[in-house]
Structure 1
Amino acid sequence: MKYHILAFGAGFLLDQIFGDPYFLPHPIRGIGWLIAKTEKALRSGNPQEDSPEREAAERRQGKLLVAIVLLLTGMFTALILAGAYALYPRIGMVVEAVMTYQILAARCLQVESGKVWKHLKAGNPEAAREAVSMIVGRDTQNLTEEGVAKAAIETVAENTSDGVIAPMLYTALGGPVLGFLYKAVNTMDSMVGYKNDRYLHFGRAAAKLDDVVNFLPARISALLMIVAAFLSGKSYNGRQAWRIWHRDSRKHASPNSAQTESVCAGALGIQLAGDASYFGKVVKKPYIGDPKRQVEYEDIRRANRLMNRTAWICELLCLGILTWVAAGCGWL
């Protein structure tokens, strides 16, 4: 337990300092490769025409995809971690710290959304649209500058839960094995969890599982973000964050996506969401927040500061609880 606590804290600090260097291989890319290869293998031989038989087959294949990816991800992570600890506890701690670092994505989120802010500030909307297309799933080619800024802010807000707080909570609870299992679910949802012709049935199991594993973390993330808004000075409104979260947190097709998005909109005093285009098709969405002022590119940085303060609050709480439990059980 002592090594887990030290590795958990060290992994968070590594993410804060280094983020995700492009020149280094990353396990999440490996999970993405596994998902793509498994999908290709499972789908081979499906009937081409739409039919009830094909729908049923795709649902079975989607469930099998989830099972295979989770089994291989969990086994591979557990074997590496157990092997490292078997060699020497401090080696295991270092490996666990690196794994924890790779599970978290706060710094990466700041860097990628910061590129959008930089291009908007420089008056280069085309480059900003290209940059935001790398971190959102919607069509970006026709977005206005305000639309680009909103897309980046929404991604930062939503991924405060998906990319930072949720994996942190699962890693604190079950170490890198549970952390990487969560990331595998999240990656499957981002790759196959679409409601289009290709993935409506095949991706259903991954999308539903993602909703389940994010249900509590999304709400914990929202509450921690509200606390961060109260502690973050005049640029943020904690009371308004609470009000908008209470009013708008269910205004999304997903039960989880609007949780932190509504808090961020309320804290900044802006309106987010609304209709968006995906694969050339406009999807109707309700607005989140009140348009007290126009969204500006500087709001991207404000959203990132709110995300990072939320991450620090969660990290300190997790370390405190882990230490308290360990001390109470005589594990320290």
Structure 2
Amino acid sequence: MEVVCAVLAGFLLDCLFGDPHWLPHPVCLMGSAYAKGEKLLRRLFPKTHCGAFWGGALLCILVVSLSLGIPLLILWLAGLVSQWLAFALHCLFCYQILAARSLRDESRKVYLPLKQGNLSEARRMLSYIVGRDTGSLNEEQVAKAAVETVAENTSDGVIAPLFFLLLGGAPLGFAYKAVNTADSMIGYKNDRYLYFGRFAARLDDLCNWIPARLSGIFMVLSAFFTGLDGKNALRIYRRDRRNHASPNSAQTESACAGALNIQLAGDASYFGTIVHKPTIGDPIRRAEPEDILRSHRLLYGTSLLCLLVFCGIRSLFILL
């Protein structure tokens, strides 16, 4: 039951405090390790497609292994001193792995200027949480991009971490975050990372395969009890959950689009190049700033539902 209690405490701490900037975050260390490791391994490996692939694969394996092993060692050493110290650290680690409050806060920074009519500031705040170009987006496009980010990261930032936390505690949770960080830093399909980041991108797809589908299902269910359109969420989820180049991203985006009765995805500009994407959902109405707040209801509804179900299943296995 220690893991269940630590995860519950971590989730509560995340809801209360989010991600204060003064608190050092392990993901920043992971990002630094990837950045420095990339420079080193690109020098060591041959300047070929094969060399780039194996250099990127080795970098990912090393950082993920360290992200698993270091917390495991810290918790073991803390347990030698005191089981209460080990439990307190486990709670802190779980808190740092979850990102529901941070996702809500960062997307709200887009909502506030957008609601006040300050489109340029809304675009600027959006640029911190999306990879696409934001300089020419109109109000509806900004709102849609923020909603898409909340929908996709409900899985990556909350549900998938909960899944791995309850499977293997904080060490496995940190290992997942290292995989997710690798994908966000080097898992791009551009000239620089097409081969170097391919292993990281495929590993991220694999790790998120089950959590993404659970996230989509639970998001549909949460739409029914958060005052949104649950029936349409189910319809769009069943129809559009594969409308994305990623095998996982459209799982939650389709459920969210259906619940809000808006259309998400479609063509977008990345580094000055238009990338053609299929749409997700039906344009029953235009997206508006309040849809960002509605996506927060889905975020927390889905998170709470998953937390209760995952903790219940793990507790049941322990009792049996």
TM-score by length of 1: 0.95
1:46 Cα deviation (Å)? Answer: 6.0
1:313 Cα deviation (Å)? Answer: 0.6
1:141 counterpart SS class: coil
Q: Decide which of 250, 261, 265 is 1:258's aligned counterpart.
A: 250
Residue number in structure 2 paired with 1:205: 199
Residue number in structure 1 paired with 2:296: 304
Matches of 1:3 and 1:75, distance apart in 2? 19
CA deviations on 1:55-74 (whole Å, 9 max, x unpaired) are: 11101101111111112111
1:44 counterpart SS class: helix
Is 1:289 paired with 2:281?
A: yes
Matches of 2:93 and 2:195, distance apart in 1? 33
Residue number in structure 1 paired with 2:99: 105
Unaligned stretches of 5+ residues in structure 1: 48-52
1:85 Cα deviation (Å)? Answer: 1.8
Is 1:6 paired with 2:5?
A: yes
Residue number in structure 1 paired with 2:28: 29
More deviation, 99-108/313-322: 313-322
Residue number in structure 2 paired with 1:189: 183
Q: How do residues 146-295 of structure 1 correspond to structure 2 at under 5 angstroms?
A: 146-233=140-227, 236-295=228-287
1:45 Cα deviation (Å)? Answer: 5.4
Q: Give identity over the alignment, percent.
A: 54
Is 1:89 paired with 2:83?
A: yes
Residue number in structure 1 paired with 2:112: 118
Matches of 2:26 and 2:316, distance apart in 1? 31
Residue number in structure 1 paired with 2:37: 38
Matches of 1:229 and 1:126, distance apart in 2? 32
1:322 Cα deviation (Å)? Answer: 2.1
The answer to whether the 8 Å contact 2:45/2:55 transfers is no
Matches of 2:222 and 2:78, distance apart in 1? 37
Residue number in structure 2 paired with 1:50: none
- The aligned amino acid for 2:30 is I
Is 1:56 paired with 2:55?
A: no
CA deviations on 1:136-191 (whole Å, 9 max, x unpaired) are: 01111111111111110000000010011001110011001110100000000000
1:282 counterpart SS class: strand
Matches of 1:108 and 1:171, distance apart in 2? 18
Residue number in structure 2 paired with 1:315: 307
Matches of 1:221 and 1:60, distance apart in 2? 32
Unaligned stretches of 5+ residues in structure 2: none
Is 1:135 paired with 2:134?
A: no
Matches of 1:46 and 1:68, distance apart in 2? 15
C-alpha root-mean-square deviation of aligned residues, in Å?
1.0
1:317 counterpart SS class: helix
2:123 counterpart SS class: helix
TM-score by length of 2: 0.98
